[in-house]
Amino acid sequence: KGQEKWPRGDEKVWKDGLRGVDKDVPEITKSVVHHVQTSLARQAYNLDEAGAYQATALSVRDNLLPTKRAYYLSLEFLMGRTLDNALLNLGLKNKYSDGTTKLGFNLEDLLEQERDAALGNGGLGRLAACYLDSSASQELPVWGYGLRYQYGIFQQLIGPDGSQLEAPDPWLQHDNPWELPRADVTYDVRFYGHSERIDGMKAVWSGGQEVLAMAYDVMIPGYATKNTNNLRLWESKPKRGFDLNSFNAGDYERAVESSNSAAAITSVLYPNDHTTFGKELRLKQQYFWTAASLNDILRRFKNLDKPISEFPEYVSIQLNDTHPTLAIPELMRILVDEEDVKWDAAWDIITRTFFFTNHTVLPEALEKWPVPLMQHLMREHSDFKSMHAGNLTAFDVVSIFLQAVEKKFPGDRERLARMSLIEEGFPQNVRMANLACIGSRKVNGVAELHSELLKATIMKDFVEFFGISKFFNVTNGITPRRWLDQCNPRLSQLISETLQLPKATFLKELSLLEGLLKHVDEPALIKKWAAVKQSNKERLAHYVETTMGHKINTQAMFDVQIKRLHEYKRQTLNIMGVIHRYLAIKAMTAEERKKVNPKVVFFAGKAAPGYYIAKLTIRLIVNVARIINEDPETKDLLSMFFLPDYSVSLAEILIPASDISQHISTAGTEASGTSNMKFCLNGGLLLGTVDGANIEIAEEVGEQNVFFFGHLTPAVEDLRYQHMYHPVPIEQKCPGLAKVINEVASGRFGDGGVYEPLLNTIRQNDYYLLTEDFDSYIQALELVDKAYQDRTGWIKKSIRTTAKMGKFSSDRAIQDYAQECWNIESNKLP
Ligand code: CJB
Could you report the per-residue pLDDT of 783-824, keeping only the tens digit for each? 999 999 999 999 999 999 999 999 999 999 999 999 999 999
Residues 58 and 74 occupy one common structural domain: no
What whole-number distance in Å separates Cα of residue 743 and Cα of residue 716? 28
Same domain? For 55 and 132 the reply is no
CA 826 to chain centre: 23
Ligand 1 pocket member 670 (CB < 6 A): yes
8 A C-beta contact, residue 360 and residue 274:
yes
Side-by-side strand order, sheet with 429-431: 368-370, 429-431, 422-423
* Helix residue ranges per DSSP H, 182-274: 244-248, 252-264
Residue 379, pLDDT score: 64
Q: Give the pairing of strands 164-167 and 155-158.
A: antiparallel
Instruction: State if residue 615 touches ligand 1 by the CB under 6 angstroms criterion.
Output: no
Query: What per-residue confidence (pLDDT) applies to 394?
Result: 29
How far apart (Å, rounded) are the C-alpha atoms in residues 647 and 643?
10
Q: What is the pLDDT of residue 387?
A: 34
Q: CB of 673 closer than 6 A to ligand 1?
A: yes
Residues of the chain with pLDDT under 50: 1-3, 382-395, 830
Residues 347 and 255 in one domain: yes
In a domain, 489, yes or no: no
Task: State yes or no: is 299 an active-site residue.
Answer: no
Catalytic (active site) residue 564: yes
Is 810's C-beta closer than 6 angstroms to any atom of ligand 1?
A: no
Q: Which long-range contacts (CB under 8 A, 24 or more apart) does 531-534 make?
A: 532/488, 532/490, 532/491, 532/494, 533/656, 533/657, 533/659, 533/683, 533/795, 533/798
What per-residue confidence (pLDDT) applies to 388?
31
The number of beta carbons lying within 10 Å of the beta carbon of residue 410 is 7
Alpha-carbon gap, residue 309 to 316, rounded angstroms:
14
- State how beta strands 202-206 and 194-198 pair: antiparallel
Q: Is residue 495 part of a domain?
A: no
Do 208 and 188 form a contact (C-beta atoms < 8 A)? no
Angle between helices 397-408 and 343-353 (to 10 degrees): 80
The domain total for the chain is: 3
pLDDT for the residue numbered 189: 94
* pLDDT value for 260: 82
Angle at 86 between CA 531 and CA 807, to 5 degrees: 60
Q: Of the candidates 826, 830, 821, which has an alpha carbon nearest to the alpha carbon of residue 312?
A: 821
> Are 33 and 77 part of one and the same domain?
no
49 and 77 belong to one structural domain: no
What pLDDT sits at residue 386? Answer: 37
Contact between residue 221 and residue 136 where contact means Cβ atoms under 8 Å apart: yes
Residue 559 backbone class (left: φ over 0; alpha: ψ -120 to 50; beta: rest): beta
Residue 417 lies in a domain: yes
**In this structure, are 15 and 137 located in the same domain?**
no
What's this model's pTM, rounded to 2 decimal places? 0.92
The SS3 of residue 427 is coil
Q: Is 797 a catalytic residue?
A: no
Q: Which residues pair with 687 in a beta bridge?
A: 662, 707
Check whether residue 469 and residue 556 sit in a common domain. Answer: no
In a domain, 679, yes or no: yes
Q: Is residue 164 part of a domain?
A: yes
Together in a domain, 465 and 539: no
| 111 Cα: distance to centroid of ligand 1 (angstroms) | 29
435 C-alpha to ligand 1 centroid (Å): 20
Within a domain: 207: yes
Is 678 among the residues known to form the active site?
yes
Same-domain pairing of 57 and 75 = no
* Residue 338 shares a structural domain with residue 459: yes
Catalytic residue among 35, 359, 442, 508, which?
A: 359
State residue 13's pLDDT score: 79
Q: What is the spatial distance between Cα 656 and Cα 487, in angstroms, rounded to a whole number?
A: 7
> What range does the domain containing 38 cover?
11-62
Q: Is the Cβ atom of 692 under 6 angstroms away from ligand 1?
A: yes
> Catalytic residue at 563?
yes
8-state DSSP, 618: H
Confidence at residue 252, expressed as pLDDT on a 0 to 100 scale: 75
Tell me if 813 CB under 6 Å of ligand 1.
no
pLDDT, position 197: 66
- Residue 546: inside a domain, yes or no? yes
Tell me: do 558 and 439 sit in the same domain: no
Say yes or no: 224 and 306 in one domain.
yes
Q: Are 178 and 219 in contact (CB under 8 A)?
A: yes
Is 488 part of any domain?
A: no
Beta strands in 576-705 (DSSP E): 599-604, 638-642, 660-663, 685-689
pLDDT of 763 reads 96
Answer positive or negative: Cα dihedral of 520, 652, 817, 502. Answer: negative
Is the omega angle on the peptide bond into residue 141 within 30 degrees of 0, that is, cis? no
Of 569, 797, 800, 804, the catalytic one is 569
281-295 b/e (C-beta count within 10 Å ≥ 16 → b): ebbbbbbbbbbbbbb
- The verdict on whether 796 is a catalytic residue reads no
Residue 569 and residue 768: Cα distance in Å, rounded? 9
464: CATH: 3.40.50.2000
